């Protein structure tokens, strides 16, 4: 059982290396001034546990380079939507469809992204549960 | 002397026919995704993309027939039915709803790349088994998918 759990965790974490690989493809096509930001995003995707920070890095990179490099950001966005779970107050999770929609919207910071997520969640949650404590975690 | 009737168990399955089945399934899934994009794409590039997607799914329809008939020529039966083909394909489905035109193009790029991988696996398997006719079919499919990829990727540039 422990072995199976380990295997499941290994399989689930494959998305991290896929995502890091997409970021690596960006290095040769963006200016060197942006490499530090890309390195931080790559590090967050590969080893991070603070997903709000990693999402902020993703949004910052997207704002800077998506217009010229749409495909890698589309791929990253899909991987994040599949692999992260957004919950409120430690309970209700948004569906994958909502997660895709939220990531599709062109927010440039974690704060505006979070506000949009709160607006989505407030529609499906009991008003007594507001205000919301938003949490991003990896789906394992 | 016993009489033999031809059943599915008497057909020949081989690495080449298995690779043909995978390419058939991926091509069918790609056709369905391209058709979905043709229907649902919106925005300033509508007329351009709507027409381009139609050209692509019509080409795929003909190709699928050729792939299935190659299976029959190798004495294997062609798999069919949406569920069966979907289970054999690794192409993902795009949600049927509003999406930016660029997302339809990006999704089709991903799907075309999977079709290139399947056609490449078929080409290699056919080469290994000395089946030049299947290899020729696979090479033609790779060329078509690569050309479509060039067009789709060009569309996404600096949009």
| pLDDT tens-digit series, residues A80-128 | 988 888 877 767 677 777 788 888 888 888 888 888 887 777 766 665 5
Query: Nearest residue of B to residue A69 by CA position?
Result: B157
Residue numbers in A near B99 (CB within 8 A)? 104
Which residue, among A67, A49, A132, has the nearest Cα to B158 in the 3D structure? A67
From the candidates B43, B101, B106, B114, which should be mutated to test the interface with A, based on the most A CB atoms within 10 A? B106
From the candidates A15, A62, A71, A101, which should be mutated to test the interface with B, based on the most B CB atoms within 10 A? A71
Write the pLDDT tens digit of every residue in B97-144: 889 999 999 999 999 999 999 999 999 999 999 999 999 999 999 999
Residue numbers in B near A68 (CB within 8 A)? 157-158
Query: Using an 8 Å Cβ cutoff, are B11 and B77 in contact?
Result: yes
Which residue, among A100, A80, A90, A88, has the nearest Cα to A124 in the 3D structure? A88
Share of chain B above pLDDT 90, in %: 86
Give mean pLDDT, residues A62-86. Answer: 92
State the nearest Cα–Cα gap between A68 and chain B, in angstroms: 5
Query: Using an 8 Å Cβ cutoff, are B103 and B8 in contact?
Result: no
pLDDT on residue A128: 56
Query: Nearest residue of A to residue B104 by CA position?
Result: A74
pLDDT on residue A97: 79
Number of CB pairs, chain A paired with chain B, less than 8 A apart: 23
Instruction: Quote the CA–CA distance of B141 and B159 in Å, as a whole number.
Output: 28
Residue B153 has pLDDT above 70, yes or no: yes
Instruction: Quote the CA–CA distance of A69 and A9 in Å, as a whole number.
Output: 31
Structure tokens that stand for B41 in this block: 């794409």
Q: What is the ipTM of this complex?
A: 0.82
Write the pLDDT tens digit of every residue in B13-66: 899 999 999 999 999 999 999 999 999 999 999 999 999 999 999 999 999 999
pLDDT on residue A131: 59
Structure tokens that stand for B98 in this block: 């509003």
Chain A residue set in contact with B, beta carbons under 8 Å: 67-68, 70-71, 74-75, 97, 100, 104
pLDDT on residue A96: 79
Question: Is the minimum CB–CB distance between B93 and chain A shorter than 8 Å?
Answer: no
């Amino acid at each position: 059982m422990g072995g199976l759990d380990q295997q499941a965790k290994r399989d689930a974490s494959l998305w991290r290396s896929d995502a890091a690989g997409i970021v690596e493809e960006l290095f040769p096509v963006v200016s060197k001034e942006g490499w530090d930001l890309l390195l931080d995003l790559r590090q967050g995707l590969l080893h991070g546990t603070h997903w709000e920070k990693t999402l902020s890095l993703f949004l910052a990179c997207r704002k800077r380079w998506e217009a010229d490099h749409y495909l890698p950001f589309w791929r990253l966005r899909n991987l994040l939507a599949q692999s992260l779970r957004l919950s409120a107050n430690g309970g209700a999770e948004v569906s994958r469809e909502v997660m895709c929609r939220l990531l599709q919207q062109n927010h440039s910071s974690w704060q505006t992204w979070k506000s949009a997520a709160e607006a989505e969640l407030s529609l499906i949650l009991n008003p007594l549960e507001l205000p919301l404590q938003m949490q991003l975690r990896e789906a394992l | 002397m016993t009489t033999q009737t031809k059943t599915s168990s008497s057909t020949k399955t081989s690495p080449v026919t298995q690779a043909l089945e995978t390419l058939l399934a991926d091509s069918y899934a790609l056709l369905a995704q391209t058709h979905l994009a043709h229907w649902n794409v919106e925005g300033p590039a509508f007329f351009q993309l709507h027409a381009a997607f139609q050209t692509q799914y019509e080409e795929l329809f003909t190709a699928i027939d050729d792939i299935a008939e190659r299976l029959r020529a190798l004495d294997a039966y062609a798999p069919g039915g949406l569920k069966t083909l979907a289970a054999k394909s690794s192409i993902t489905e795009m949600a049927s709803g509003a999406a930016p035109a660029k997302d339809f193009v990006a999704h089709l790029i991903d799907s075309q790349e999977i079709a290139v991988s399947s056609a490449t696996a078929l080409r290699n398997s056919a080469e290994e088994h000395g089946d030049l006719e299947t290899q020729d079919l696979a090479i033609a499919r790779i060329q078509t998918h690569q050309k479509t990829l060039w067009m789709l990727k060009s569309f996404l540039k600096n949009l």
